[in-house]
Chains A and B, each alone.
Chain A
Amino acid sequence: MSGQKKVMTDLERVLGFTLTDLELEVDKTEAAELAQAALQLQRFTAPEPTKASAQRLLQAVRRYVPENAPPRFRQTMQQAGVPKAGFSLSLLTLIRPQISLLGRPFWAATVLLLLLATWLVLLPNNTGQLPLLMFAPLTGALGIVYAFRSTDERVLELEAASAMTWQQLVLARMILIIGMNVAVLSAVTLISALLLPGFPIGLLMLSWLAPLLLWASIALNVSLRFGHWAGMVTSFAAWGLQIIVRLTLPQWDLFSLPGSIGEIALRLALVILALATLALAVRSADNQRDLVSHHLNRS
């Protein structure tokens, strides 16, 4: 190896990168001086800590070792507390902790669905209803799977041992997911209205809100009573039924834009019916907890 090359190699080894990275041209003399300066740096020695000082350090730091902190979900559930007995909105306090369960895949899937739905809406010769018709029950079904995932992940027994019933937990998650679906579809509707001038935004919203809430609330009640597979089947059956109705009896298609006062009234009534069904599910879950409490108190 030539002297020039050796000096450069040594300097580059000391620096930890090649000089060509910086597009620098350094002559042999300067490179030697730089490397020599680097060697001189070694003169600045630092005292080595003793074993005793390491022990003192450990003693001082040990009490700051993090305790085995419970997961965020458990912490927020503890903060939420147990819903009060009787039919009350206190059950809704359980919803907030469920948000911490929503991981990145959930948000990613939501964004993907939103983008897909927006793209479908923007397709030419499309009124924007069909994509909504397709996605509403699909997201509902996925929501049911998500809400009941504890059974698949074999942690249901943990939930069963908690102060609130699994019905309450499922309900809280389902309400969260239905709320999420409503938010996503509202966004899609808004985009549709903005991109398609003259579109009746209120009527369009009613056209998907009524069937979505109705089928979701029915599916939720079925899920709570008969399990999540029954809930999913109900959700898809409602979807299939809706498609059949759309093809054979379009005047009864709930996803169509309401044209008359009667049709608007019908959809509003369906929304109210869906909310009542949801309330029924809330009450059912609440009663279930009271039964468990009563049983525990007696025993």
Chain B
Amino acid sequence: MLTDEELCRQLQSGSEVALESLVHRYHGPIHGYIYRQVNDESTTDDLVQETFIRLCTRMGQYNYPQPFKPWLYRIALNLCRDYWKSAYFRQAQQSEELSSQQVDDNPSVESIYNWQETRQEVMAAINCLDEIYRDVLILRFYQDLKVSEIADVLEIPIGTAKWRLFQALKLMKDQLTTGGEAYVWTKESDD
């Protein structure tokens, strides 16, 4: 099987097959990554498309055998950052705050499932994190990137990436309600 980097080289020569392979490999991961950054499906679709368009238009800047995955995630991250800076985002945020106030008044919210509540809690906790911690957290725990790849995406030293990751997890621990549910591996550990 061709590596991502070899596919990139083929894409540079105009291979649509290489593009299809890369989309097949990375559509899901990039979609998940952007979704967790922006929390909106419609915006996620737009940004995913823009990520792959940028991938194509900036193919000239790719130098084989530079690792492809961090490069692609860096494109996606920069697009998310552009989105956060955009007026559209600020407008959307304001209307979200408004709608959440309206939802809070609605008693039917309490009928959602427990897992959804926890999901919302986690989502809210991640959103509360500072950007520098949120980035490392999402890349490590949802995208399963190695620490060295995270450092590459964020263009920071590996030591800094490790430190931020540890701090991010500590912050998450503080924010999340951890009681009430014992995890299997924890029980095993105590054995």
Contacts and interface: CB of A to CB of B under 8 A. Distances in A.
A62 B166 CA distance: 40
B47 to A, nearest CB: 11
A7 B140 CA distance: 19
Interface string B20-49: 100110011001100110000100010011
Size bin of chain A's contact surface? 35 or more
Nearest to A10: B185
Given A43-B122, A45-B119, A16 B178 contact: no
A156 to B, nearest CB: 25
B178 A60 contact: no
A35 B176 contact: no
A35 B19 contact: no
Nearest to B190: A3
Contact of A43 (B41, B52, B118, B190): B118
A15 interface: yes
A16 B140 contact: yes
B162 to A, nearest CB: 5
Interface stretch (A51-59, A247-255, A273-281): A51-59
Contacts of B162: 15, 17, 21-22
B173 interface: yes
Interface of B: 11-16, 19-20, 23-24, 27-28, 31-32, 35-36, 41, 45, 48-49, 52-53, 55-57, 59-60, 115, 118-119, 121-123, 126, 137, 140-142, 146-147, 159, 162-163, 165-166, 169-170, 172-173, 176, 178, 183, 185-186, 188-191
Given A37-B176, A37-B178, 12 more contacts: A7-B189, A15-B140, A16-B146, A34-B169, A34-B173, A40-B122, A41-B172, A44-B142, A49-B27, A49-B48, A54-B27, A60-B49
